C-alpha cells in the first residue's frame, strides 16, 4: 500500500517551468525575489515561475509560457505581471501532461491566446478583485478586471460574491458595471502573430510603477468541471 501511494504521489509531481521572452519592443525588467532586485530583460531570456515582469512606457513584450512556444502572452506598456505559477503535472492514465498557468496581473494589460490543452489543465488570470480563466481562446485582460474575448470563451469570478460570469467570443465584461456587452469591431491581435522587434533604450520600468501594491482580497480558484466553471472558496 505504501509503495502504491508513493508511486501515485510521484506520478502527480509538478514541475515548475521557465518562460521565455520571445519578442521585446523597448525595455522591460524582471525580478525573482519579489522586487528587491531587478535585471534588464532581452529577447531570448528565460524567466522562472514566480518572477515579476515589468514593461516600461512605450514598450511591450511577448512571453512564451512554459515549454510551449505557441502559448504566448503579450504585456502592454507599463504592465506589471507576476508569473504566479507556470507548471506541468503528469496525470495517471492521461496521454499528456496537464499545464497549470496562473498569471497575477498587478498593473496594465495583457493579451494572450490559450491553445487547446488537456481537460486537467488550468489557465488563470488573477487580478485585485477576482480571477478569470480560459480553456481555449484569445483574450485581453486589464488589471481592473475588464476582460474581452475574441475567440473561445472565458469565465470570471469576482471576490464580491457575484455569480461567475461567462464571456464568449465577441463579448467584453466590465466589472465596474457588471455588464457584458458586444466587443467593438476590432481584432485582438494574437501575440504570436506580431513581428519581432528590435530592443532599444526606452523609459526605465522603475519609473513607471513601484512593485508594491495594496494587499489583494483573498484569492479564489477557478475550476473547469465537465458541466462548466464553478468558484470554490479561497
Q: What is the CATH number of the domain that holds 111?
A: 2.60.120.1440
pTM over 0.85: no
| Confidence band of 230 (pLDDT split at 50, 70, 90) | very low
Distance CA 43, CA 153 (A): 31
Q: Cell numbers 455588464 label which residue? A: 179
Instruction: Flag whether 178 is in a domain.
Output: yes
Residue-wise pLDDT tens digits, 116-141: 777 788 999 999 999 999 989 999 99
Instruction: Flag whether 234 is in a domain.
Output: no
Residue-wise pLDDT tens digits, 55-113: 999 999 999 999 888 899 999 999 999 999 999 988 776 667 788 999 999 999 999 99
CB 123 within 8 A of CB 132: no
Cβ neighbours of residue 152 closer than 8 Å, sequence gap 6 or more: 114, 134, 135, 136, 137, 138, 139, 168, 169
Nearest CA to 41 out of 51, 50, 129 is that of 51
Mean pLDDT (whole number) for 168-191: 87
CB 172 within 8 A of CB 154: no
Number of structural domains in the chain: 1
Instruction: Flag whether 7 is in a domain.
Output: no
Q: Cell numbers 518562460 label which residue? A: 19
Distance CA 154, CA 210 (A): 30
Instruction: Flag whether 228 is in a domain.
Output: no
Instruction: Flag whether 2 is in a domain.
Output: no
Instruction: Flag whether 35 is in a domain.
Output: yes
Amino acid at each position: 500500500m505504501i509503495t502504491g501511494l508513493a508511486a501515485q504521489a510521484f506520478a502527480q509531481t509538478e514541475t515548475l517551468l521557465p518562460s521565455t521572452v520571445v519578442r521585446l519592443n523597448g525595455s522591460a525588467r524582471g525580478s525573482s525575489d519579489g522586487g528587491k532586485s531587478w535585471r534588464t530583460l532581452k529577447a531570448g531570456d528565460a524567466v522562472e515561475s514566480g518572477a515579476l515582469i515589468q514593461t516600461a512606457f512605450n514598450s511591450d513584450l511577448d512571453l512564451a509560457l512554459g515549454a510551449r512556444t505557441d502559448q504566448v502572452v503579450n504585456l502592454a506598456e507599463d504592465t506589471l505581471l507576476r508569473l504566479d505559477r507556470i507548471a506541468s503535472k503528469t496525470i495517471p492514465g492521461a496521454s499528456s501532461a496537464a499545464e497549470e498557468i496562473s498569471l497575477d496581473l498587478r498593473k496594465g494589460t495583457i493579451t494572450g491566446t490559450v491553445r487547446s490543452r488537456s481537460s486537467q489543465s488550468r489557465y488563470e488570470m488573477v487580478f485585485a478583485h477576482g480571477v478569470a480563466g480560459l480553456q481555449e481562446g484569445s483574450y485581453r485582460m486589464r488589471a481592473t478586471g475588464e476582460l474581452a474575448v475574441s475567440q473561445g470563451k472565458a469565465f470570471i469570478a469576482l471576490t464580491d460574491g457575484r455569480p461567475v460570469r461567462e464571456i464568449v467570443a465577441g463579448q467584453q465584461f466590465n466589472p465596474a458595471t457588471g455588464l457584458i456587452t458586444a466587443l467593438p469591431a476590432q481584432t485582438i491581435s494574437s501575440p504570436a502573430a506580431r513581428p519581432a522587434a528590435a530592443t532599444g533604450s526606452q523609459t526605465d520600468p522603475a519609473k513607471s510603477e513601484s512593485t508594491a501594491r495594496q494587499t489583494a482580497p483573498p484569492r479564489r480558484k477557478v475550476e473547469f468541471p465537465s458541466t462548466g466553471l464553478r468558484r470554490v472558496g479561497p
